[in-house]
Amino acid sequence: MLQILTQASLCEADFNQKIDFVIEGFITKRMMTMVYADGGNGKSWLAFALAKYCAPRMKQVFYLDFDNPLSVLKERKVHELLIAPHANLHYVQRSKSPLPPFELLRTLAENATANQFENMIFFVDSLRDFADVNNEAKIGLVMNLLKDIREAGGTILILGHSNKDGRNYQGSNAIRNSLDNMYQLKKRELAEGVGVILEVRKERAAIVDKAFDIDPNTLDLEEVDLIEAQASEQDLEFVNQVKHVLVREGQVGKGDLLNAAGYAKDDKTARARLEKYDGIYWKSSKRHTRIFYQLL
């Protein structure tokens, strides 16, 4: 009996493991990350694009989909864009699964020994299809199974849903307490493609807010500048107008800059935008009582 405990005890070598990322500052290897949002905001598009991104970079990719029907997968060309090109990408859908979702996880967890799942990523789509997320005991069992997979080296990305007001995730505290990292996803309107902004809601690693564009026709994933992604059309128009003046004039006082960009000196919204993007697109300096701006 004591031999079992001594063999299972941590040693110095166990603490040499460093934090590693699938995508720098976003998906952490050997950790559980959840992305949650209301339906229709692009969670599955993001997960599909991430699965494609991971396939050439990881040993195995397992997409456990108990949410999307086959008709949706066909429409989104999952076979053509994900399954066919990548022999190491295994897409498990409800209609073909030999086990119900909870039993499938339990079987995986029973085989979660040593580094069995090292350099493998598991997509769970979506969490509420594996147990009642509001039942602390039931969802707690699911989270413990996922922990076992994580401790065997697995990287786990969970898709969750927002609660009714959209401000938080749907489910009990057992979910948050078990996760390593959590993001809230917000949709970004684009003329073409799918744009998403991910805001950190819990972190045990050095993760940061991110923004991505996804091409639904190829599932290509492109990281975009977060500041620009969060800006409104009016913000971007203002930035372009101010930058144009600063390129032409060099260093300009606040009032003159606003006038040259087409705004009144006392326009509170314009003045607030000047401050908002100070240090990002331009920098300010003070001379006596006047403030001057120039491009970074």
Q: Is residue 149 located within the same domain as residue 76?
A: yes
- Mean pLDDT for 63-90 is 97
Domain carrying residue 268: 233-295
Q: Is residue 155 located within the same domain as residue 255?
A: no
Confidence of residue 8 (pLDDT cuts 50, 70, 90): low
pLDDT at 198 over 90: yes
Q: Is residue 145 located within the same domain as residue 167?
A: yes
Q: Is residue 174 located within the same domain as residue 53?
A: yes
Question: Which tens digit of pLDDT belongs to each residue from 100-128?
Answer: 999 999 999 999 988 999 999 999 999 99
Last residue of a domain, one of 211, 230, 249: 230
Domain assignment present for 9: no
Question: What pLDDT, on the 0 to 100 scale, is given for residue 16?
Answer: 65
Question: What pLDDT, on the 0 to 100 scale, is given for residue 184?
Answer: 98
Last residue of a domain, one of 187, 213, 230: 230
Q: List helix spans (H) across 216-267.
A: 226-230, 233-249, 254-260
Question: What pLDDT, on the 0 to 100 scale, is given for residue 18?
Answer: 76
Q: Is residue 149 located within the same domain as residue 289?
A: no
**pTM attached to this predicted model:** 0.85
% of the chain surpassing 90 pLDDT: 84
Domain assignment present for 63: yes
Helix (H/G/I), strand (E/B), else coil: 291: strand
Q: Is residue 248 located within the same domain as residue 265?
A: yes
Q: Is residue 157 located within the same domain as residue 203?
A: yes
Do the beta carbons of residue 68 and residue 77 sit within 8 Å? Answer: no
Number of domains in the chain: 2
Question: Which tens digit of pLDDT belongs to each residue from 23-65?
Answer: 999 999 999 999 999 988 999 999 999 999 999 999 999 999 9
Q: Is residue 207 located within the same domain as residue 266?
A: no
pLDDT at 11 over 80: no
Least Cα distance to 102 among 76, 122, 128, 121 occurs for 128
Half-sphere exposure of 148 (CA within 13 A, CB side): 14
pLDDT at 13 over 80: no
Question: Which tens digit of pLDDT belongs to each residue from 234-268?
Answer: 998 999 999 999 999 999 999 999 999 999 999 99
Domain assignment present for 289: yes
Residue 276 sits in a domain whose CATH number is 1.10.10
Question: What pLDDT, on the 0 to 100 scale, is given for residue 114?
Answer: 86
Least Cα distance to 192 among 231, 218, 230, 156 occurs for 218
